[in-house]
Amino acid sequence: MATTEPEVAPGGRVTFRVRAPNAREVRVQYEGGGDTGNMQKDEDGLWSFMTPPLEPDIYSYTFFVDGLRSIDLNNPLLKYNLLYTDNQVEERGTTALPWEMQDVPHGQLHRHFYKSAATGEDRDFYVYTPPGYSPQWHRYPVLYLLHGISDDASGWTVAGRQNVILDNLIARGAAKPMVVVMPLGYGTMDMVRQGWSRISSAGRWETNLQQFRARLLDEVMPQVEASYRLSNHPQDRAIAGLSMGGAESLFVGLTEPKRFAWIGAFSSGGVGANFLELLPTLDSSANHRLGLLWISCGKNDSLYDSNQALVESLKGKGIHCTWREVPGEHSWRVWRPNLVEFAPLLFH
Amino acid sequence: MATTEPEVAPGGRVTFRVRAPNAREVRVQYEGGGDTGNMQKDEDGLWSFMTPPLEPDIYSYTFFVDGLRSIDLNNPLLKYNLLYTDNQVEERGTTALPWEMQDVPHGQLHRHFYKSAATGEDRDFYVYTPPGYSPQWHRYPVLYLLHGISDDASGWTVAGRQNVILDNLIARGAAKPMVVVMPLGYGTMDMVRQGWSRISSAGRWETNLQQFRARLLDEVMPQVEASYRLSNHPQDRAIAGLSMGGAESLFVGLTEPKRFAWIGAFSSGGVGANFLELLPTLDSSANHRLGLLWISCGKNDSLYDSNQALVESLKGKGIHCTWREVPGEHSWRVWRPNLVEFAPLLFH
């Protein structure tokens, strides 16, 4: 891409810059940087801030110009979001990270459009087909991969680099070639149409889980299965997601055992010990049907305690699950590595 | 989409708003609005501006907050661009416009990734397949559709609504079902990597035309023809584009008559009477090979005179072309209607 800003110096120091001669205070907030940094103005009105050395990764950042949240229009690397679009800066080390595009065969991304019969909304979903995908060859396993609240169906490719990660894993034989489906994760768009106000209203979260399940099972999956050559055995179907999508993966996966045998929940939102009240029929008989129930959270995520509580209550019911604590916050810096670790475990 | 801002009132008045309590001057610039409008601040620090009634269309806009170019982060409708990302607001009338998603069968968008052997760059291109596309059915005609400078391969779908326009045209039988390929329009990314400084350097434009042609013929077309079921007759291949992509369409189309019989050039950049010096072998013998040479420009475009001069010099050489003057500036408000008018003319 034609990135001109910010500047990444050897050793990992990043210099952010924004020209705002009339501003009185400009700050930059970047992932992993804790609180915001105060930028310094030079005589030409160019504000700048140099970070300490950062380890190689992709970092989101935003400017605050006299308090106004602003994106860096000199950096074409945008992370699109329905509520919080921001920029990214990529710090590369000597070894390519699993989410850096490498010289390996690439899969393709397909974007489908449809009108939802249930909501009347124009909706879309994305499908990744692995390198060499051939509808004549065999029936592929499929991972349904869900974004978090405020993202849309593009989140896992734009910010999550799903396609790059799978290309790289498949190239080194670490993951099976699979199709990945990334639907829009809202039961209805009301969930985000009025910002955060509606999300926290009573019962909204549970209603969304049920509505999302209906959109996925009744609208997305039939189109996907008609368009791609997929296995329809539950052992060949996985569902995973982050934050809201983590809760959705648990809810759909655990209520639809005849459809999904592999479940991943990354930094799930709205879970905790009482989440299992939404799954009254769940008991240890689920163990023999599940290939994997994988639950992860960043140790510095504010959702850490509720995720840990969920795992404890699952174990209390005798349900096997893998609990992965990883460094980090509620961030794509956690979810990209989650996918790198989770995808190779699937479909064995 | 979850648009919360701006507000579009019945009758077509748009109210733009941005909260910036510490700013001293906030202006909004919107397509068709001529110069910028001064926004007014209320006691809570919310700046607003109401437009006169606007005819139904999609309008780009940007804020200037104390002189700093800013996008509207409360509006998820972004028009991504390598240099000038801005927002869009959609004003809908009682009759759906050809670029509004309607309840018709939808085609799909496919994104391909590859490493350019010539430049070493990681590149992508998009392919639209029409509703009901079936590789078993027959060989489809194909339109190569090129973006302008500062856009990337996503420009024609994000801002141009190519897929929506073709879906709608095909649904009412106005255009033949066709595959549309949207490549990255730069010979090398140096063309935009350093902003505008390199673009205007001597010979850069001509070099880019030649380099782009090589990327298209040697890298993109072989992948496209291996992946989709396309006719390889020149009568079934078109090339069209806007601004830089208009010049590229003329250059590639007129130098490759064995490949392309249909050419469209919308608001072409870097053309004029002497553009034909780049095409020394072009003469009226081209007429019998060409299905259509269609050149258009907005009457208020600063490139209008050079496009008109090009048309005169083509006519002077006895080459048939269709010259379409349309209302408007150098804007997607011209190029969307251009595609609506051009696509139905193809492949007859």
Nearest to A4 by CA among B162, B193, B234, B259: B193
Q: Do B163 and A110 lie within an 8 Å CB cutoff?
A: no
Residues 6+ apart with CB under 8 A from A99: A58, A161, A164, A165, A168, A336, A340
Report the run of H or E that residue A296 belongs to, with start and end: strand A292-298
Question: Which whole-number Å values give the CA distances from A153 to A144, A148, A246, in the listed order?
Answer: 11, 10, 15
Q: Do A111 and B108 lie within an 8 Å CB cutoff?
A: yes
Q: Do B73 and A73 lie within an 8 Å CB cutoff?
A: no
Give residue-wise pLDDT tens across range A174-229: 999 999 999 999 999 988 876 566 566 668 889 999 999 999 999 999 999 999 99
Q: Do A108 and B113 lie within an 8 Å CB cutoff?
A: yes
Q: Do A84 and B73 lie within an 8 Å CB cutoff?
A: yes
Substitution target in A44, A64, A102, A113 with the highest count of B β-carbons within 10 Å is: A113
Q: Do A67 and B20 lie within an 8 Å CB cutoff?
A: yes
Nearest to A15 by CA among A46, A24, A23, A1: A46
CA distance B122 to A102: 9
Question: Which whole-number Å values give the CA distances from A264 to A224, A246, A341, in the listed order?
Answer: 20, 7, 11
Q: How many CB atoms lie within 10 A of CB B1?
A: 14
Q: Is the pLDDT of residue A83 over 80?
A: yes
State the smallest CA–CA distance between residue A36 and chain B in angstroms: 18
Q: What count of residues does chain A have?
A: 348
Nearest to A191 by CA among A229, A155, A244, A243: A244
Q: How many CB atoms lie within 10 A of CB B33?
A: 16
Q: Does B322 touch chain A (CB under 8 A)?
A: no
Per DSSP, helices labelled H in chain A are: 155-158, 162-171, 190-193, 204-214, 221-227, 244-255, 304-316, 332-342
Substitution target in B27, B29, B68 with the highest count of A β-carbons within 10 Å is: B68
- Chain B residues whose CB is inside 8 A of the A111 CB are 108-111
Q: Does B22 touch chain A (CB under 8 A)?
A: yes
Average pLDDT over residues A4-17: 91
Give residue-wise pLDDT tens across range A98-151: 999 999 999 999 999 999 999 999 999 999 999 999 877 689 999 999 999 999
Residues above pLDDT 70, as percent of chain A: 96
Q: Residue type for A282, please?
A: L
Domain ranges, ordered by start, for chain A: 7-91, 108-345
8 Å CB contact between A186 and A243: no
pLDDT at B33: 81
ipTM score of the complex?
0.94
Q: Do A71 and B68 lie within an 8 Å CB cutoff?
A: no
Nearest to A85 by CA among A150, A143, A33: A150
Token readout for B80 is 């991504």
Q: Are strands B57-65 and B68-70 parallel, antiparallel or unpaired?
A: antiparallel
CA distance B327 to B333: 9
Q: Is the pLDDT of residue A1 over 50?
A: no
**3-state class (DSSP) for residue B215:** helix
- Chain B residues whose CB is inside 8 A of the A68 CB are 18-20, 22-23, 65, 70
8 Å CB contact between A260 and A292: no
CA distance B48 to B37: 10
Q: Smallest Cβ distance to A110: which of B73, B110, B163?
A: B110
Residues of chain B with pLDDT under 70: 1-3, 137, 194-202
Q: If contacts are CB pairs under 8 Å, which of residues 115-144 in chain A contact chain B?
A: 115, 122
CA distance A157 to A68: 28
CA distance B253 to B240: 9
Q: Which residues of A8-36 are buried (b: 16+ CB within 10 A; e: fewer)?
A: beeebebebbbbbeebeebbbbbbbbeeb
Give residue-wise pLDDT tens across range B300-325: 999 999 999 999 999 999 999 999 99
8 Å CB contact between A168 and A257: no
Architecture in CATH for domain B108-345: 3-Layer(aba) Sandwich (3.40)
Q: Does A166 touch chain B (CB under 8 A)?
A: no
Q: Smallest Cβ distance to A106: which of B78, B114, B192?
A: B114
pLDDT at B198: 59
CA distance B23 to A25: 11
- Chain B residues whose CB is inside 8 A of the A114 CB are 106
DSSP annotation of B177: -
pLDDT at B3: 47
Nearest to A150 by CA among A79, A249, A218: A79
CA angle A90–A64–A75, rounded 5-degree value: 35
Q: Smallest Cβ distance to A193: which of B4, B83, B163?
A: B4
More confident residue, A178 or A274: A178
DSSP annotation of B216: I
B202-205 long-range contacts (CB < 8 A, ≥24 apart) are B205/B247, B205/B270
pLDDT at B1: 35
State the smallest CA–CA distance between residue A290 and chain B in angstroms: 33
Q: Does A213 touch chain B (CB under 8 A)?
A: no
CA distance A284 to A325: 23
Beta-bridged to residue A13, according to DSSP, are none
Q: Which CATH number is A7-91's, of 2.40.30.260, 1.10.8.60, 3.30.2130.10, 2.60.40.10?
A: 2.60.40.10
Q: Do A76 and B82 lie within an 8 Å CB cutoff?
A: yes
DSSP annotation of B39: P
CA angle B284–B290–B296, rounded 5-degree value: 95
Q: Smallest Cβ distance to A85: which of B4, B78, B194?
A: B78
**3-state class (DSSP) for residue B112:** strand
Q: Smallest Cβ distance to B23: which of A21, A68, A71?
A: A68
Q: If contacts are CB pairs under 8 Å, which of residues 253-312 in chain A contact chain B?
A: none
Q: Do B115 and A103 lie within an 8 Å CB cutoff?
A: yes
CA distance A62 to A79: 11
Give residue-wise pLDDT tens across range A69-78: 999 988 988 8
Q: Is the pLDDT of residue A36 over 80?
A: no
Nearest to B338 by CA among B273, B268, B291, B236: B268
Q: Which residues of A105-132 are buried (b: 16+ CB within 10 A; e: fewer)?
A: ebbbbbbbbeebeebeebbbbbbbbbee
Q: Does B179 touch chain A (CB under 8 A)?
A: no
Q: Does A199 touch chain B (CB under 8 A)?
A: no
Q: Does B65 touch chain A (CB under 8 A)?
A: yes
Substitution target in A111, A184, A199 with the highest count of B β-carbons within 10 Å is: A111
**3-state class (DSSP) for residue B333:** helix
Residues 6+ apart with CB under 8 A from A141: A176, A178, A179, A230, A231, A236, A237, A238, A346, A347
Nearest to B106 by CA among A51, A314, A114, A332: A114
pLDDT at B329: 95
Q: Does B92 touch chain A (CB under 8 A)?
A: no
**Which residue has 């993966």 as its token pair?**
A249
State the smallest CA–CA distance between residue A32 and chain B in angstroms: 22
Q: Are strands B122-129 and B179-183 parallel, antiparallel or unpaired?
A: antiparallel
CA distance A106 to A88: 23
CA distance B166 to B98: 9
The structure's pTM equals 0.95
CA distance A112 to A99: 24
CA distance B36 to B40: 13
Q: Do B20 and A122 lie within an 8 Å CB cutoff?
A: no
8 Å CB contact between A336 and A165: yes
- Chain B residues whose CB is inside 8 A of the A115 CB are 103
8 Å CB contact between B86 and B62: yes
pLDDT at B326: 97
* Burial of residue A140 (number of CB atoms within 10 Å: 0-12, 13-18, 19+): buried
- Chain A residues whose CB is inside 8 A of the B170 CB are none
Residue of B nearest to A189 (CA): B2
- Chain B residues whose CB is inside 8 A of the A82 CB are 1-2, 76
- Chain A residues whose CB is inside 8 A of the B82 CB are 1-2, 76
> Which string of DSSP letters, residue by residue, matches B115-152?
E-TTT--EEEEEEEE-TT--TTT-PBPEEEEE--TT--
Q: Do B85 and A108 lie within an 8 Å CB cutoff?
A: no
Residue of A nearest to B86 (CA): A73
Report the run of H or E that residue A265 belongs to, with start and end: strand A262-266
Residues 6+ apart with CB under 8 A from A78: A71, A85, A86, A87, A88, B78, B80, B85
> Which string of DSSP letters, residue by residue, matches A150-207?
T--TTHHHHTT-HHHHHHHHHHTTSS---EEEEE---SSTHHHHTTTTTTTSTTHHHH
- Grade residue A3 by pLDDT with cuts at 50, 70 and 90: very low
